[in-house]
């Protein structure tokens, strides 16, 4: 079935599941990591979401569980995957379900924000694989429901995100309960000194795999900057959604939760199907929003940075940054929600005069100047001038609205769009 590639080394039942999932050729991280994992080696992988890393570690783990059968001990899983967010844990669990559907290997997904009843039920069914967020896992360990003494394979996923979210004490507590003899896999999108220190405490004589951590993903994305006054950002967003009906899935990022709720309410009033996802939402609300977005029932997902990593939704047409993030690295993770699995995508950042410093920081981080698009009715020439970008980017649109005549800054007084004007091309699919 997979003659000549690494998938051919998997158990036949897992191969059938992989074929059903539409996998034909392994991604670079799968091709490079899986041979080491089949040998039982520890591994440090530098790769972000969207590179296929979940399959890279889960397929060898499931293959081991299938080929080396052992009696099931209730509450004593053989494999543990630790995830920083509920969404990433749920996504990983969905993949485990997909890959193991012909193997009958039970699993449990342990996340907070929802009742533990169903999760405990899954544990008591003999879950051999556990995918968990640190808080809920420690809760169930404390209650004497989950024990880690028989874990053979341990995965720490998105380690840098774990540290950013303050999970280091929980991680160390969990690691202290693991058996000394185990296979440990460590994945992170970035490798800061703190991340490397944690990796050194976790793995032994690891294989190391690094897959294009940042820039190549950015290069696939058609990025644009739109200078706009802060009060006009909502109107500009609605303008773009109205003039680009081909954008069927759009993620809009805001810095704050109340900002996400405000944008969602305005879009709903304008008749745009949308939903918000942030930390104030219950797990059920977040799950329903993501499922609706994946199905296409929800056109726009408005999110804070909680969703900038670990959410793998196919065919996202465009990502809009209503505000640039305070942490420049988050820009890459935000726009990385589009252009997944080799597809093209668009990313638009709304920038005010006050955000010019953040724009420059982002450009230094990605080592690229982001082109300016002036072809929209809310262009703010003052913000562009303050950023030093007035001579860069796309040419001025070949039309002059009467409200702009005689103005030097390029701003217009009117708020309605000029019908019939040329629309910008954001790299939509042909």
In a domain, 423, yes or no: no
In a domain, 426, yes or no: no
Q: How many CB atoms lie within 10 A of CB 368?
A: 13
172-187 mean pLDDT: 96
In a domain, 89, yes or no: yes
Q: 390 or 385, which is more confident?
A: 385
pLDDT tens digits, 239-289: 999 999 999 999 999 988 889 999 999 999 999 999 998 877 887 888 889
Residues 238 and 311 in one domain: yes
Q: 366 or 153, which is more confident?
A: 153
Residues 138 and 237 in one domain: no
Q: Tell me, what's the pLDDT at 244?
A: 93
Residues 102 and 233 in one domain: no
Residues 260 and 383 in one domain: yes
pLDDT tens digits, 132-155: 999 999 999 999 999 999 999 999
Q: Tell me, what's the pLDDT at 220?
A: 74
Q: Tell me, what's the pLDDT at 8?
A: 93
In a domain, 411, yes or no: no
Residues 191 and 48 in one domain: yes
Residues 189 and 273 in one domain: no
pLDDT for residue 185 is more than 80? yes
Which of 177, 210, 243 corresponds to the end of one domain? Answer: 210
* Count of alpha carbons within 13 angstroms of residue 252, beta-carbon side: 31
Q: Confirm if 187 and 155 have CB atoms less than 8 A apart.
A: yes
pLDDT tens digits, 29-64: 999 999 999 999 999 998 766 678 899 999 999 999
Q: Tell me, what's the pLDDT at 270?
A: 94
Phi, psi of 237 (to 5 degrees): -60, -45
Q: Tell me, what's the pLDDT at 377?
A: 92
Across 87-96, 116-125, 310-319, 359-368, least confident range: 310-319
Residues 164 and 222 in one domain: no
CATH number for the domain spanning 66: value is 3.40.50.300
Confidence of residue 217 (pLDDT cuts 50, 70, 90): low
Residues 251 and 196 in one domain: no
Q: First-to-last CA distance in the chain? A: 32
Instruction: State how far the Cα of 161 lies from the Cα of 309, in Å rounded to an integer.
Output: 9
Instruction: State how far the Cα of 400 lies from the Cα of 404, in Å rounded to an integer.
Output: 7
Which of 192, 210, 228 corresponds to the end of one domain? Answer: 210
In a domain, 417, yes or no: no
Residue by residue, DSSP assigns 296-358 as TS-SEEEE-GGGSSS---TT--EEEESS--SSHHHHHHHHTTSSGGG--EEEEEEE-GGGHHH
Residues 24 and 119 in one domain: yes
Beta bridge partners of 46: 188, 210
Residues 275 and 161 in one domain: no
Q: Tell me, what's the pLDDT at 403?
A: 42
Residue span of the structural domain in which 341 resides: 215-404
In a domain, 427, yes or no: no
Number of domains in the chain: 2
In a domain, 418, yes or no: no
Residues 380 and 261 in one domain: yes
pLDDT tens digits, 293-326: 989 999 999 998 765 555 678 789 899 999 988 6
Q: Confirm if 52 and 26 have CB atoms less than 8 A apart.
A: yes
The structure's pTM equals 0.63
Pairing of strands 107-110, 79-82: unpaired
Across 16-20, 150-154, 358-362, least confident range: 358-362
Confidence of residue 422 (pLDDT cuts 50, 70, 90): very low
In a domain, 289, yes or no: yes
pLDDT for residue 340 is more than 70? no
Q: Cα torsion for 122, 127, 131, 137, to the nearest 10°?
A: 70
Q: How many CB atoms lie within 10 A of CB 392?
A: 13
Residues 204 and 305 in one domain: no
Which of 163, 187, 210 corresponds to the end of one domain? Answer: 210
- pLDDT averaged over every residue in the chain: 84
3-state secondary structure of 3: coil
């Amino acid at each position: 079935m997979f003659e000549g590639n690494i998938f051919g080394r998997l158990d036949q039942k897992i191969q059938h599941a992989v074929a059903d999932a539409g996998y034909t050729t392994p991604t670079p991280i799968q091709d490079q990591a899986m041979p080491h994992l089949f040998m039982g080696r520890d591994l440090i992988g530098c790769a972000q979401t969207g590179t296929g890393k979940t399959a890279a570690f889960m397929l060898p783990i499931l293959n081991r569980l299938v080929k080396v059968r052992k009696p099931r001990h209730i509450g004593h899983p053989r494999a543990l995957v630790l995830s920083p967010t509920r969404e990433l844990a749920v996504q990983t669990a969905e993949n485990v379900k997909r890959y193991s559907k012909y193997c009958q290997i039970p699993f449990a997904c342990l996340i907070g924000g929802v009742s533990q009843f169903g999760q405990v039920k899954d544990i008591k069914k003999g879950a051999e694989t556990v995918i968990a967020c640190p808080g809920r896992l420690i809760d169930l360990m404390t209650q004497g429901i989950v024990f880690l003494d028989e874990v053979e394979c341990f995965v720490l996923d998105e380690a840098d995100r774990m540290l950013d979210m303050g999970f280091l004490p929980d991680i160390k507590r969990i690691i202290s309960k693991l058996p000394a003899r185990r296979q440990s896999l460590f994945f992170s999108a970035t490798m800061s000194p703190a991340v490397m220190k944690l990796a050194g405490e976790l793995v032994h004589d690891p294989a190391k795999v690094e897959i294009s951590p940042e820039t190549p993903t950015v290069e696939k994305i058609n990025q644009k900057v739109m200078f706009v006054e802060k009060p006009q950002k909502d109107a500009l967003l609605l303008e773009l959604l109205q003039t680009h009906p081909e954008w069927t899935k759009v993620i809009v990022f805001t810095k704050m939760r109340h900002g996400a709720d405000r944008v969602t309410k305005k879009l709903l009033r304008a008749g745009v199907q949308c939903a918000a996802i942030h930390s104030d939402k219950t797990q059920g609300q977040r799950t329903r929003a993501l499922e609706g977005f994946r199905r296409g029932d929800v056109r726009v997902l408005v999110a804070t940075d909680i969703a900038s990593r670990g959410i793998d939704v196919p065919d996202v047409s465009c990502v809009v940054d209503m505000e640039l993030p305070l942490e420049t690295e988050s820009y890459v993770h935000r726009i990385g929600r589009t252009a997944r699995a080799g597809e093209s995508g668009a990313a638009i950042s709304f920038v005010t005069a006050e955000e010019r410093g953040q724009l420059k920081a982002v450009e230094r981080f990605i080592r690229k100047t982001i082109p300016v698009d002036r072809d929209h009715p809310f262009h703010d020439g003052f913000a562009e001038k303050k950023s030093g970008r007035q001579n860069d980017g796309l040419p001025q649109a070949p039309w002059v609205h009467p409200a702009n005549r005689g103005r030097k800054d390029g701003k217009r007084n009117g708020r309605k769009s000029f019908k019939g004007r040329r629309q910008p091309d954001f790299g939509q699919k042909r």
